[in-house]
Structure 1
Amino acid sequence: MLTKRVTVTVHASDPLSRAGLISHLRHQPSLDVLPERGEDGRERAPGTEGEAAVAVMLADRIDESATAELRRLLRGRDQRVVLVAGELREPDLLSVVEYGVRAIIWRHQATEQRLLSAVHSAARGEGELPPDLVSRLLNQVGRLQRATAAGATAGGSVPLFGMAPREVDVLRLLAEGLDTRQISEKLAYSERTVKNILHALMTRLRLTNRAHAVAYALREGYI
Protein backbone atom coordinates (compact mmCIF):
# COMPACT_ATOMS: atom_id res chain seq x y z
CA MET A 1 0.00 0.00 0.00
CA LEU A 2 1.38 3.39 -0.97
CA THR A 3 1.98 5.88 1.84
CA LYS A 4 0.35 9.26 1.31
CA ARG A 5 2.92 11.98 0.65
CA VAL A 6 3.27 14.55 3.42
CA THR A 7 4.42 18.13 2.86
CA VAL A 8 6.86 19.49 5.44
CA THR A 9 8.52 22.75 6.40
CA VAL A 10 11.71 22.84 8.50
CA HIS A 11 12.42 25.53 11.10
CA ALA A 12 15.63 26.16 13.07
CA SER A 13 17.42 29.31 14.20
CA ASP A 14 20.79 27.89 13.11
CA PRO A 15 21.09 27.61 9.29
CA LEU A 16 23.50 24.65 9.49
CA SER A 17 21.16 22.71 11.76
CA ARG A 18 18.25 23.48 9.46
CA ALA A 19 20.24 22.28 6.46
CA GLY A 20 21.03 19.05 8.30
CA LEU A 21 17.36 18.38 9.01
CA ILE A 22 16.43 19.12 5.42
CA SER A 23 19.08 16.70 4.17
CA HIS A 24 17.56 13.97 6.36
CA LEU A 25 14.06 14.61 5.02
CA ARG A 26 14.43 15.76 1.44
CA HIS A 27 15.25 12.43 -0.19
CA GLN A 28 12.42 10.55 1.55
CA PRO A 29 9.98 9.45 -1.20
CA SER A 30 6.93 10.00 1.01
CA LEU A 31 7.82 13.62 1.93
CA ASP A 32 7.76 16.94 0.08
CA VAL A 33 9.98 19.51 1.82
CA LEU A 34 8.77 23.04 1.10
CA PRO A 35 10.94 26.15 1.35
CA GLU A 36 10.56 28.02 4.63
CA ARG A 37 9.74 31.20 2.72
CA GLY A 38 7.22 31.66 -0.05
CA GLU A 39 7.70 33.48 -3.31
CA ASP A 40 6.90 36.78 -1.58
CA GLY A 41 9.80 36.26 0.85
CA ARG A 42 7.57 35.81 3.87
CA GLU A 43 8.05 32.91 6.23
CA ARG A 44 5.83 29.97 5.46
CA ALA A 45 4.01 28.22 8.30
CA PRO A 46 2.29 24.85 7.92
CA GLY A 47 -1.29 25.09 6.76
CA THR A 48 -0.72 28.35 4.88
CA GLU A 49 -0.10 28.75 1.16
CA GLY A 50 1.69 25.66 -0.06
CA GLU A 51 -0.39 23.27 2.07
CA ALA A 52 2.43 22.09 4.36
CA ALA A 53 0.96 19.47 6.67
CA VAL A 54 3.75 19.23 9.25
CA ALA A 55 6.38 21.62 10.58
CA VAL A 56 9.61 20.14 11.93
CA MET A 57 11.22 22.51 14.42
CA LEU A 58 14.66 22.17 15.98
CA ALA A 59 15.30 23.82 19.36
CA ASP A 60 18.27 23.17 21.62
CA ARG A 61 16.18 24.41 24.56
CA ILE A 62 12.72 25.88 25.09
CA ASP A 63 13.64 29.47 25.76
CA GLU A 64 11.66 32.61 25.02
CA SER A 65 12.47 32.64 21.31
CA ALA A 66 11.68 28.93 20.89
CA THR A 67 8.36 29.37 22.69
CA ALA A 68 7.48 32.29 20.42
CA GLU A 69 8.32 30.21 17.35
CA LEU A 70 6.18 27.31 18.58
CA ARG A 71 3.26 29.63 19.15
CA ARG A 72 3.69 31.10 15.68
CA LEU A 73 3.69 27.68 14.07
CA LEU A 74 0.71 26.49 16.10
CA ARG A 75 -1.46 29.57 15.89
CA GLY A 76 -3.18 28.48 12.67
CA ARG A 77 -5.94 25.94 12.30
CA ASP A 78 -4.98 22.29 12.85
CA GLN A 79 -1.24 22.91 12.86
CA ARG A 80 1.00 19.89 13.41
CA VAL A 81 4.52 20.27 14.76
CA VAL A 82 7.33 17.78 15.36
CA LEU A 83 9.84 19.15 17.87
CA VAL A 84 13.48 18.03 17.72
CA ALA A 85 14.80 19.04 21.15
CA GLY A 86 18.29 19.25 22.57
CA GLU A 87 16.95 19.37 26.12
CA LEU A 88 13.59 19.79 27.86
CA ARG A 89 13.26 20.91 31.45
CA GLU A 90 10.30 19.46 33.36
CA PRO A 91 8.43 22.80 33.49
CA ASP A 92 8.70 23.00 29.69
CA LEU A 93 7.53 19.45 28.96
CA LEU A 94 3.85 19.78 29.85
CA SER A 95 3.72 23.24 28.26
CA VAL A 96 5.07 21.88 24.96
CA VAL A 97 2.49 19.07 24.99
CA GLU A 98 -0.34 21.45 25.84
CA TYR A 99 0.71 23.87 23.09
CA GLY A 100 -0.18 21.06 20.68
CA VAL A 101 3.22 19.67 19.64
CA ARG A 102 2.45 16.30 18.04
CA ALA A 103 5.78 14.52 18.48
CA ILE A 104 9.08 15.07 20.26
CA ILE A 105 12.43 13.58 19.29
CA TRP A 106 15.72 14.03 21.11
CA ARG A 107 18.22 15.73 18.84
CA HIS A 108 20.87 13.05 19.40
CA GLN A 109 18.32 10.38 18.38
CA ALA A 110 17.01 12.18 15.29
CA THR A 111 17.82 9.56 12.66
CA GLU A 112 16.15 9.60 9.26
CA GLN A 113 13.78 6.80 10.25
CA ARG A 114 12.78 8.44 13.54
CA LEU A 115 12.10 11.72 11.80
CA LEU A 116 10.10 10.02 9.06
CA SER A 117 8.01 8.09 11.60
CA ALA A 118 7.34 11.21 13.67
CA VAL A 119 6.32 13.27 10.64
CA HIS A 120 3.85 10.63 9.45
CA SER A 121 2.46 10.18 12.98
CA ALA A 122 1.93 13.93 13.25
CA ALA A 123 0.29 14.06 9.82
CA ARG A 124 -2.18 11.38 10.99
CA GLY A 125 -2.96 13.41 14.10
CA GLU A 126 -1.10 11.01 16.36
CA GLY A 127 1.90 11.67 18.58
CA GLU A 128 5.25 10.21 19.58
CA LEU A 129 7.34 10.73 22.70
CA PRO A 130 10.65 9.12 23.70
CA PRO A 131 10.12 6.59 26.53
CA ASP A 132 12.10 8.68 29.02
CA LEU A 133 9.91 11.70 28.28
CA VAL A 134 6.78 9.62 28.83
CA SER A 135 8.13 8.71 32.27
CA ARG A 136 8.93 12.33 33.08
CA LEU A 137 5.50 13.44 31.86
CA LEU A 138 3.84 10.82 34.07
CA ASN A 139 5.83 12.01 37.09
CA GLN A 140 5.07 15.65 36.42
CA VAL A 141 1.34 15.26 35.93
CA GLY A 142 1.24 12.88 38.89
CA ARG A 143 2.47 15.71 41.08
CA LEU A 144 -0.11 18.04 39.54
CA GLN A 145 -2.77 15.39 40.09
CA ARG A 146 -1.94 15.14 43.79
CA ALA A 147 -1.97 18.92 44.11
CA THR A 148 -5.38 19.03 42.37
CA ALA A 149 -6.73 16.34 44.71
CA ALA A 150 -5.46 18.27 47.73
CA GLY A 151 -7.17 21.41 46.44
CA ALA A 152 -10.45 19.54 45.95
CA THR A 153 -10.24 18.12 49.50
CA ALA A 154 -9.73 21.62 50.81
CA GLY A 155 -12.87 22.81 49.02
CA GLY A 156 -11.30 23.65 45.67
CA SER A 157 -12.78 23.03 42.22
CA VAL A 158 -13.26 19.59 40.68
CA PRO A 159 -13.09 18.75 36.96
CA LEU A 160 -16.08 20.07 35.06
CA PHE A 161 -16.13 17.26 32.50
CA GLY A 162 -16.07 13.55 33.24
CA MET A 163 -14.73 10.62 31.26
CA ALA A 164 -16.54 7.44 30.37
CA PRO A 165 -14.91 4.16 31.47
CA ARG A 166 -14.01 3.18 27.91
CA GLU A 167 -12.36 6.57 27.35
CA VAL A 168 -10.27 5.98 30.45
CA ASP A 169 -9.37 2.48 29.21
CA VAL A 170 -8.18 3.84 25.87
CA LEU A 171 -6.15 6.65 27.44
CA ARG A 172 -4.54 4.29 29.96
CA LEU A 173 -3.27 2.08 27.12
CA LEU A 174 -2.23 5.16 25.14
CA ALA A 175 -0.18 6.30 28.15
CA GLU A 176 1.55 2.91 28.12
CA GLY A 177 2.77 3.59 24.58
CA LEU A 178 0.31 1.45 22.59
CA ASP A 179 -0.77 2.60 19.14
CA THR A 180 -4.30 2.51 17.70
CA ARG A 181 -4.02 -1.06 16.39
CA GLN A 182 -2.60 -2.39 19.65
CA ILE A 183 -5.31 -0.63 21.69
CA SER A 184 -8.03 -2.06 19.46
CA GLU A 185 -6.62 -5.56 19.92
CA LYS A 186 -6.28 -5.14 23.68
CA LEU A 187 -9.84 -3.86 24.16
CA ALA A 188 -11.47 -5.90 21.36
CA TYR A 189 -12.60 -2.72 19.62
CA SER A 190 -12.21 -1.88 15.96
CA GLU A 191 -9.51 0.67 15.11
CA ARG A 192 -12.28 3.00 13.90
CA THR A 193 -13.98 2.75 17.32
CA VAL A 194 -10.73 3.64 19.11
CA LYS A 195 -10.23 6.64 16.82
CA ASN A 196 -13.86 7.73 17.33
CA ILE A 197 -13.51 7.49 21.13
CA LEU A 198 -10.39 9.66 21.06
CA HIS A 199 -11.87 12.14 18.59
CA ALA A 200 -15.05 12.58 20.65
CA LEU A 201 -13.07 12.97 23.86
CA MET A 202 -10.64 15.53 22.44
CA THR A 203 -13.47 17.50 20.82
CA ARG A 204 -15.52 17.57 24.03
CA LEU A 205 -12.62 18.61 26.25
CA ARG A 206 -10.93 20.80 23.61
CA LEU A 207 -7.71 18.82 23.75
CA THR A 208 -5.22 19.38 20.95
CA ASN A 209 -3.80 15.87 20.47
CA ARG A 210 -3.38 12.44 22.06
CA ALA A 211 -0.47 13.45 24.26
CA HIS A 212 -2.53 16.37 25.57
CA ALA A 213 -5.43 13.96 26.29
CA VAL A 214 -3.14 11.66 28.29
CA ALA A 215 -1.69 14.61 30.19
CA TYR A 216 -5.20 15.88 31.00
CA ALA A 217 -6.38 12.45 32.18
CA LEU A 218 -3.33 12.03 34.39
CA ARG A 219 -3.56 15.51 35.84
CA GLU A 220 -7.26 15.10 36.65
CA GLY A 221 -6.73 11.71 38.26
CA TYR A 222 -8.50 9.48 35.74
CA ILE A 223 -5.44 7.31 35.10
Structure 2
Amino acid sequence: MIRVIVVDDQKLMRDGLKTILGLEDNIEVVGTAADGAQALEVAQATRPDLVLMDIRMPGVDGVQGARLIREQLPETKVLMLTTFNDSELILDALEEGASGYLLKDMPTEVIVQAIMTVCAGGIVLPPESTAQVVAEWKRAREHAVQEGRDQLVSAAPPYLEALTEREHDVLQLLGQGMNNKEIGETLVITEGTVKNHVSNIIAKLRLRDRTQAAIYAVRHGIASFS
Protein backbone atom coordinates (compact mmCIF):
# COMPACT_ATOMS: atom_id res chain seq x y z
CA MET A 1 0.00 0.00 0.00
CA ILE A 2 1.44 3.38 -1.06
CA ARG A 3 0.60 6.12 1.44
CA VAL A 4 0.03 9.51 -0.23
CA ILE A 5 -0.62 13.13 0.80
CA VAL A 6 -2.39 15.43 -1.69
CA VAL A 7 -1.40 19.13 -1.60
CA ASP A 8 -3.25 21.83 -3.53
CA ASP A 9 -4.57 25.26 -2.57
CA GLN A 10 -7.81 24.58 -4.47
CA LYS A 11 -10.14 22.49 -2.33
CA LEU A 12 -11.96 21.09 -5.36
CA MET A 13 -8.72 19.79 -6.88
CA ARG A 14 -7.52 18.51 -3.51
CA ASP A 15 -10.71 16.63 -2.72
CA GLY A 16 -11.05 15.36 -6.28
CA LEU A 17 -7.58 13.83 -6.29
CA LYS A 18 -8.17 12.34 -2.84
CA THR A 19 -11.36 10.66 -4.05
CA ILE A 20 -9.88 9.40 -7.32
CA LEU A 21 -6.70 8.02 -5.76
CA GLY A 22 -8.68 6.51 -2.91
CA LEU A 23 -10.39 4.22 -5.42
CA GLU A 24 -7.06 2.53 -6.19
CA ASP A 25 -6.45 -0.74 -4.34
CA ASN A 26 -2.76 -0.04 -3.70
CA ILE A 27 -2.97 3.68 -2.79
CA GLU A 28 -4.12 5.18 0.51
CA VAL A 29 -4.52 8.97 0.85
CA VAL A 30 -3.46 9.62 4.44
CA GLY A 31 -3.84 13.40 4.42
CA THR A 32 -4.30 16.62 2.48
CA ALA A 33 -2.83 20.12 2.74
CA ALA A 34 -3.32 23.56 1.20
CA ASP A 35 0.31 24.71 0.90
CA GLY A 36 3.89 23.58 1.39
CA ALA A 37 4.09 24.46 5.08
CA GLN A 38 0.93 22.56 5.91
CA ALA A 39 2.18 19.69 3.75
CA LEU A 40 5.28 19.39 5.92
CA GLU A 41 3.17 19.31 9.09
CA VAL A 42 0.89 16.61 7.71
CA ALA A 43 3.86 14.64 6.37
CA GLN A 44 5.62 14.75 9.72
CA ALA A 45 2.48 13.41 11.39
CA THR A 46 1.69 10.68 8.85
CA ARG A 47 5.08 9.76 7.31
CA PRO A 48 3.73 9.14 3.78
CA ASP A 49 5.58 7.38 0.98
CA LEU A 50 4.82 10.22 -1.44
CA VAL A 51 3.54 13.79 -1.48
CA LEU A 52 1.61 14.78 -4.61
CA MET A 53 1.96 18.56 -4.58
CA ASP A 54 0.81 21.51 -6.67
CA ILE A 55 3.72 23.70 -7.66
CA ARG A 56 2.10 27.15 -7.57
CA MET A 57 0.36 27.96 -4.27
CA PRO A 58 0.07 31.08 -2.09
CA GLY A 59 2.16 31.10 1.05
CA VAL A 60 4.73 28.31 0.86
CA ASP A 61 4.67 27.10 -2.75
CA GLY A 62 5.47 23.65 -4.08
CA VAL A 63 9.15 24.38 -4.70
CA GLN A 64 9.68 25.46 -1.10
CA GLY A 65 7.48 22.61 0.10
CA ALA A 66 9.54 20.07 -1.82
CA ARG A 67 12.73 21.40 -0.27
CA LEU A 68 11.32 21.31 3.26
CA ILE A 69 9.98 17.79 2.93
CA ARG A 70 13.09 16.39 1.27
CA GLU A 71 15.30 18.02 3.92
CA GLN A 72 13.32 16.82 6.92
CA LEU A 73 11.79 13.60 5.57
CA PRO A 74 14.31 12.28 3.03
CA GLU A 75 12.51 8.93 2.69
CA THR A 76 9.36 10.67 1.44
CA LYS A 77 9.15 11.21 -2.31
CA VAL A 78 7.66 14.35 -3.86
CA LEU A 79 5.82 14.44 -7.18
CA MET A 80 4.77 17.83 -8.54
CA LEU A 81 1.50 18.81 -10.23
CA THR A 82 1.85 21.71 -12.63
CA THR A 83 1.05 23.37 -15.95
CA PHE A 84 3.12 24.29 -19.02
CA ASN A 85 3.43 27.85 -17.73
CA ASP A 86 5.58 26.86 -14.76
CA SER A 87 8.79 25.87 -16.58
CA GLU A 88 11.21 27.65 -14.24
CA LEU A 89 9.37 26.40 -11.16
CA ILE A 90 9.39 22.84 -12.49
CA LEU A 91 13.16 22.86 -12.89
CA ASP A 92 13.59 24.49 -9.49
CA ALA A 93 11.39 21.85 -7.83
CA LEU A 94 13.37 19.04 -9.41
CA GLU A 95 16.58 20.60 -8.14
CA GLU A 96 15.05 20.75 -4.65
CA GLY A 97 14.56 16.99 -4.69
CA ALA A 98 11.21 16.36 -6.38
CA SER A 99 11.20 13.08 -8.28
CA GLY A 100 9.30 14.40 -11.25
CA TYR A 101 6.18 16.24 -12.32
CA LEU A 102 2.83 15.73 -14.01
CA LEU A 103 0.51 18.10 -15.82
CA LYS A 104 -2.80 18.58 -14.03
CA ASP A 105 -4.86 17.50 -17.02
CA MET A 106 -3.23 14.08 -17.33
CA PRO A 107 -5.51 11.02 -17.04
CA THR A 108 -5.94 9.31 -13.68
CA GLU A 109 -4.14 6.17 -14.84
CA VAL A 110 -1.07 8.25 -15.76
CA ILE A 111 -1.02 9.84 -12.30
CA VAL A 112 -1.35 6.43 -10.62
CA GLN A 113 1.45 4.95 -12.75
CA ALA A 114 3.65 7.95 -12.00
CA ILE A 115 3.12 7.49 -8.26
CA MET A 116 4.15 3.85 -8.57
CA THR A 117 7.18 4.75 -10.67
CA VAL A 118 8.43 7.33 -8.19
CA CYS A 119 7.85 5.07 -5.17
CA ALA A 120 9.86 2.37 -6.96
CA GLY A 121 12.79 4.79 -7.19
CA GLY A 122 12.14 6.17 -10.67
CA ILE A 123 11.80 9.67 -12.08
CA VAL A 124 8.81 11.05 -13.98
CA LEU A 125 9.69 13.50 -16.76
CA PRO A 126 6.98 13.31 -19.46
CA PRO A 127 8.96 13.58 -22.74
CA GLU A 128 6.64 15.83 -24.76
CA SER A 129 5.89 18.26 -21.96
CA THR A 130 9.51 18.29 -20.78
CA ALA A 131 10.63 19.34 -24.26
CA GLN A 132 8.20 22.26 -24.07
CA VAL A 133 9.26 23.10 -20.51
CA VAL A 134 12.91 23.25 -21.57
CA ALA A 135 12.07 25.37 -24.61
CA GLU A 136 10.08 27.84 -22.47
CA TRP A 137 12.87 27.99 -19.91
CA LYS A 138 15.47 28.70 -22.58
CA ARG A 139 13.34 31.44 -24.12
CA ALA A 140 12.89 33.04 -20.71
CA ARG A 141 16.63 32.94 -20.06
CA GLU A 142 17.45 34.42 -23.48
CA HIS A 143 14.93 37.22 -22.91
CA ALA A 144 16.46 37.93 -19.50
CA VAL A 145 19.93 38.06 -21.04
CA GLN A 146 18.76 40.52 -23.69
CA GLU A 147 17.39 42.79 -20.97
CA GLY A 148 20.56 42.49 -18.91
CA ARG A 149 18.77 40.73 -16.04
CA ASP A 150 20.73 37.51 -16.27
CA GLN A 151 24.03 36.08 -17.43
CA LEU A 152 24.42 33.59 -20.22
CA VAL A 153 24.63 29.98 -19.12
CA SER A 154 28.14 28.65 -19.54
CA ALA A 155 28.59 26.93 -22.91
CA ALA A 156 30.41 24.10 -21.17
CA PRO A 157 28.32 22.35 -18.50
CA PRO A 158 30.34 21.94 -15.29
CA TYR A 159 32.38 18.72 -14.95
CA LEU A 160 30.81 17.14 -18.07
CA GLU A 161 34.23 16.50 -19.58
CA ALA A 162 34.95 14.05 -16.74
CA LEU A 163 32.35 11.59 -18.05
CA THR A 164 33.20 8.70 -20.35
CA GLU A 165 31.29 8.29 -23.61
CA ARG A 166 29.14 5.55 -22.07
CA GLU A 167 28.42 7.64 -18.98
CA HIS A 168 27.34 10.46 -21.27
CA ASP A 169 24.91 8.06 -22.97
CA VAL A 170 23.50 7.01 -19.61
CA LEU A 171 23.16 10.65 -18.52
CA GLN A 172 21.20 11.44 -21.68
CA LEU A 173 18.74 8.63 -20.95
CA LEU A 174 18.49 9.65 -17.30
CA GLY A 175 17.37 13.05 -18.53
CA GLN A 176 14.56 11.35 -20.43
CA GLY A 177 13.29 9.86 -17.16
CA MET A 178 14.34 6.27 -17.86
CA ASN A 179 14.93 3.83 -15.00
CA ASN A 180 17.93 1.49 -14.82
CA LYS A 181 16.13 -1.37 -16.55
CA GLU A 182 15.04 0.84 -19.46
CA ILE A 183 18.52 2.32 -19.82
CA GLY A 184 20.04 -1.16 -19.79
CA GLU A 185 17.66 -2.36 -22.49
CA THR A 186 18.35 0.71 -24.63
CA LEU A 187 22.15 0.44 -24.36
CA VAL A 188 22.18 -3.39 -24.21
CA ILE A 189 23.98 -3.52 -20.85
CA THR A 190 23.01 -5.03 -17.49
CA GLU A 191 21.12 -3.15 -14.80
CA GLY A 192 24.13 -3.58 -12.52
CA THR A 193 26.35 -1.87 -15.06
CA VAL A 194 23.83 0.96 -15.41
CA LYS A 195 23.75 1.37 -11.63
CA ASN A 196 27.55 1.69 -11.56
CA HIS A 197 27.47 4.25 -14.36
CA VAL A 198 24.80 6.29 -12.56
CA SER A 199 26.87 6.29 -9.36
CA ASN A 200 29.93 7.46 -11.30
CA ILE A 201 27.92 10.19 -13.03
CA ILE A 202 26.58 11.52 -9.73
CA ALA A 203 30.07 11.54 -8.20
CA LYS A 204 31.81 13.12 -11.20
CA LEU A 205 29.19 15.84 -11.69
CA ARG A 206 29.14 16.49 -7.92
CA LEU A 207 25.40 15.99 -7.67
CA ARG A 208 23.18 14.65 -4.88
CA ASP A 209 21.21 11.93 -6.63
CA ARG A 210 19.87 10.63 -9.96
CA THR A 211 17.12 13.25 -10.01
CA GLN A 212 19.73 16.01 -9.96
CA ALA A 213 21.58 14.14 -12.71
CA ALA A 214 18.41 14.04 -14.79
CA ILE A 215 17.73 17.75 -14.38
CA TYR A 216 21.40 18.50 -15.15
CA ALA A 217 20.87 16.69 -18.46
CA VAL A 218 17.68 18.65 -19.12
CA ARG A 219 19.09 22.07 -18.22
CA HIS A 220 22.21 21.64 -20.35
CA GLY A 221 20.46 20.16 -23.38
CA ILE A 222 22.06 16.73 -23.01
CA ALA A 223 18.72 14.91 -22.93
CA SER A 224 16.87 14.68 -26.21
CA PHE A 225 13.07 14.65 -26.33
CA SER A 226 12.57 14.46 -30.06
Query: What TM-score bracket applies, with the shorter chain setting the length?
Result: 0.7 to 0.9
- Give 1:108's aligned residue: 105
1:32-63 CA distance string (max 9 Å, x none) = 221248xxxx9322xx454311101134x366
Kindly indicate whether residue 207 of structure 2 is the aligned counterpart of residue 206 of structure 1: yes
Stretches of structure 1 that go unaligned for 5 or more consecutive residues are: none
For 1:176 and 1:107, how far apart are their aligned partners in 2? 20
2:41 pairs with 1:43: yes
Q: SS in structure 2 opposite 1:173? A: helix
Query: Quick one: percent identity of the two aligned structures?
Result: 23
Cα separation, partners in 2 of 1:221 and 1:69, compared to 1, 3 Å: closer
- The answer to whether the Cα contact below 8 Å between 2:8 and 2:53 also exists between their aligned partners in 1 is yes
SS of match in other structure, 2:132? helix
TM-score w.r.t. length of structure 1:
0.74
> TM-score w.r.t. structure 2 length?
0.73
- For 1:178 and 1:18, the matched residues in 2 are separated by 29
* Residue pairs, 1:3-152, within 5 angstroms: 5-36=1-32, 43-45=41-43, 48-59=44-55, 61=56, 65-66=60-61, 67-76=63-72, 77-109=74-106, 111-139=107-135, 140=137, 147-149=153-155
Q: In 2, Cα distance between the equivalents of 1:55 and 1:75?
A: 14
For 1:24 and 1:102, how far apart are their aligned partners in 2? 21
The C-alpha deviation readout for 1:104-159, integer Å capped at 9, x for no partner, is 111111x2211111111111221112223321354447979x7312xx7xxxx953
User: Residue in 1 aligned with 2:194?
Assistant: 194
Shift of 1:160: 8.7
- Cα distance in 2 for partners of 1:35, 1:90 equals 28
Unaligned runs of 5+ residues in structure 2 are 34-39, 143-151
Q: Pick closer, same or farther for the CA change 1:103–1:160 going to 2, 3 Å.
A: closer
Q: Distance in 2 between matches of 1:26 and 1:138?
A: 33
| RMSD (Å) for aligned C-alpha atoms | 3.2
State whether residues 14 and 32 of structure 2, in contact with CA within 8 Å, keep that contact through their aligned partners in structure 1.
no
Q: Which runs of 4+ in 1 moved over 6 A?
A: 141-144
Matched letter for residue 107 of structure 1: K
Instruction: Name 1:162's counterpart in structure 2.
Output: 162
Structure 2 vs 1, CA of residues 107 and 20 (structure 1 numbering), >3 Å: closer, same or farther? same
Provide the rounded CA distance (Å) in 1 between the counterparts of 2:126 and 2:160. Answer: 31
CA–CA separation in structure 1 for the residues paired with 2:3 and 2:192: 25
> What SS does the corresponding residue of 2:98 show, helix, strand or coil?
coil
Specify whether residues 19 and 69 from structure 1 end up closer, same or farther in structure 2 by C-alpha distance, changes over 3 A only: same
